[in-house]
A and B are shown apart, each in its own frame.
Chain A
Amino acid sequence: MSSAEHLPDEQNPLEHPLPSDAGGLKREAQSLRRQLQRAQLRIEALEKGLKGRGGGAALGGLDDEMRLLAEQHERRAMLLDHYEQTARELQQNVQPIMEARPEGIRFAIESRPGVRVGGDFYDIINLSDNFVAFLIADVSGYGLPAAVIMATGRLAFRTYAANQLKPRVIMEKVNQAMLRTTLAGHYMTAFLGVLDTELLNLEYVNASHCSPFLIRDGKVISLDTEGLFVGMFEEPKYEQKGLQMEQHDRIFLYTDGLLKGFQARDQREAESKLGQYLKESGEQDLEELVAQLGALVQNPEDDIALLGVELLLEKARRKTISISSIPSELAHVESAILPVLDNKGYGERNIFAVKLALEEAVVNAIKHGNQLDDTKKVTISFYIDDDRALISIEDEGEGFDPSAIADPTDPENLMASSGRGLALIRAYMDEVRFNEKGNEISLVKYAPWAVAHRI
């Protein structure tokens, strides 16, 4: 190898193979121009910050940013001598160690280093209330920069997945974090899924990554959504999709290095061959299959990463979530319940009704039941099938007598600012019940087709 090949590739952009088609060349040129503009803006901001140094606390944010950048550069300088080995170590060290695997789900992983160190990574993250996130990503470029961005990216996913169940929101936050911190000009493609391991509802976002495959009963479904690369644009719109998973479903996530294992004219054909391969291997043990796939490419030029997921258990009948008595916690409850209704086809009208009743009941439980005492919990348990949604909300308060609540639609009470919550719950739910103590309310909403049957 010549010495030029030892430079990090961002210092020698000519080393990248050029796109072969006119569209690709144009896109790359546009993206490079954008990177250049961003870098220019950043330099201006930094210079301004330098001039104003000592100017006081207003520059705190900029100081931090400069410190971070300086640290990044220092680290890179230190590593430059043996960056290839370091990149390799870095890459190997950031691959996931599962603390506790969720019951009833199998994961099989395989990663093969390429001739050049790329930026492939994957992760499996346990979230609260029996949700698990899994992801796969591929950072642009090779060598140390790619490895550093991979480490940053993985940390960003871990950080933002901790408080959030919506893959769309996690992806947006990771994008913001990557935009602010990465070395100029690098980006990644990523697929992120969040699975409710009790109700088996999967929500996912695909940010321009190779579409993972879902294999169900010998059928192949590709999991794709609209969404641009991560770490490149200020406000990329990420589409989120969802589906109800079933026992024995398998999902395969992979990076494009794997496609080299299939003789094909283009990527599309290689993908289709991979799908076919997976379809025909339905009976094979998951770990064996993943290992076998990983070995398809001899001496891979590119890294290969593969993650197989298999559902062993049937879905649970009931799920329980506990939240602190803080109104914003309602977001968490909605993320767990509303997508399930959506995927089952309950329809906009019923989802609106459940969202409304849920807000009224949870806010009542927080404010009136638990008196906003954030050491007290509100427990929401729910069961949703194809015909109905059952939801109960319990607080730690004294309970109340629902018959003592005045009717807010009475002309005497119509002017009031409050007191409509319970009336709305009754108007929008098909059944409403209280326990004897009055600190638990149970709601039933029937699916549109089930209502038709009942009448």
Chain B
Amino acid sequence: MRRDAAEGAQISKEFKNDVCILHLSGQMREMGADVLREELDQVLENGDYKLIFEMGDVSFISSTGLGQIMRAFRTAGQNDGFVRVVNPQPLVEEVFRATKLHTLIGIFSTIEDAIDEKGRRT
């Protein structure tokens, strides 16, 4: 399905114990990036540093989207937290690999695996 450039990401949030899971859908790109930026500002201000990005419904990501994830990754890392990515679509996962970010950020198949840090994709 084609999407409009103006369509950014939609986000919903849930907690499993102290792990904050962000369910993302749509596109993580320059257009509409404010939605993700503001959500991450709030999450990080709240002191939630154990973050999982569930990305099964994300159809597109650009360097702007990667930049947001890296910002969260740095802040989380400085506060004994983590950022992990779950179930990205193949074309989206390739963007992580093309930039070698998969060497920093663990990519997992399920939320449970991500919480337990097992089955990290290499």
User: A residues touching B (Cβ–Cβ < 8 Å)?
Assistant: 166, 169, 240, 327-328, 330-331, 334, 338-339, 342, 348-349, 352, 355-356, 359-360, 363, 408-409, 414-418, 420-421, 423-424, 427-428
Contact = CB atoms under 8 A, between A and B. Distances in A.
Contact of A409 (B29, B71, B100): B100
B66 interface: yes
B71 A417 contact: yes
Interface stretch (B17-25, B41-49, B57-65): B57-65
Contacts of B74: 415, 417
Scoring B63, B67, B70, B91 by chain A CB atoms within 10 A of each residue's CB, the highest score goes to: B63
Given A166-B4, A169-B4, A348-B91, A414 B63 contact: no
Given A330-B31, A415-B70, A420 B99 contact: yes
Main secondary structure of the interface of A (DSSP, over half): helix
16 contacts: A240-B2, A327-B30, A328-B6, A330-B5, A356-B62, A359-B29, A360-B62, A363-B62, A409-B100, A414-B100, A414-B103, A415-B104, A420-B63, A424-B62, A424-B95, A424-B99
Contact of B63 (A334, A360, A415): A360
Contacts of A330: 5, 30-31
B22 to A, nearest CB: 18
Contacts of A424: 62-63, 95, 98-99
B99 A359 contact: no
Contacts of B67: 417-418, 420
A420 B31 contact: no
Scoring A240, A348, A417 by chain B CB atoms within 10 A of each residue's CB, the highest score goes to: A417
A173 to B, nearest CB: 12
B101 A328 contact: no
Contacts, number: 70
B5 A328 contact: yes
Interface string B83-115: 000000001000100111101100000000000
Given A409-B99, A417-B71, A424-B63, A359 B30 contact: yes
Contacts of A356: 60, 62, 95
B31 A328 contact: yes
A338 B104 contact: no
Interface of B: 2, 4-6, 29-31, 60, 62-64, 66-68, 70-71, 73-74, 91, 95, 98-101, 103-104
Contacts of A414: 100-101, 103-104
A357 to B, nearest CB: 10
B63 A331 contact: no
Contacts of A349: 91
A428 B67 CA distance: 18
A309 B66 CA distance: 46
A423 B4 contact: no
Contact of B5 (A331, A348, A420): A331
Nearest to B73: A415
Contacts of B6: 328, 331
A352 B29 contact: no
A338 B31 CA distance: 17
Given A417-B74, A421-B63, 5 more contacts: A352-B60, A415-B74, A418-B63, A423-B98, A427-B98
Given A360-B62, A417-B67, A420-B66, A334 B99 contact: no
Nearest first, the 6 A-B pairs at minimum CB distance are A331-B5, A420-B63, A427-B98, A417-B67, A409-B100, A359-B62
Nearest to A427: B98
Contacts of A328: 5-6, 31
A416 B104 CA distance: 12
Nearest to B100: A409
A95 B100 CA distance: 58
A356 B64 CA distance: 11
B70 to A, nearest CB: 5
A374 B20 CA distance: 39
Contacts of A352: 60, 91
Contacts of B4: 166, 169, 331
Contacts of A334: 5
A129 B35 CA distance: 31
Nearest to A415: B74
B60 A408 contact: no
Contacts of B29: 359
A355 B63 CA distance: 12
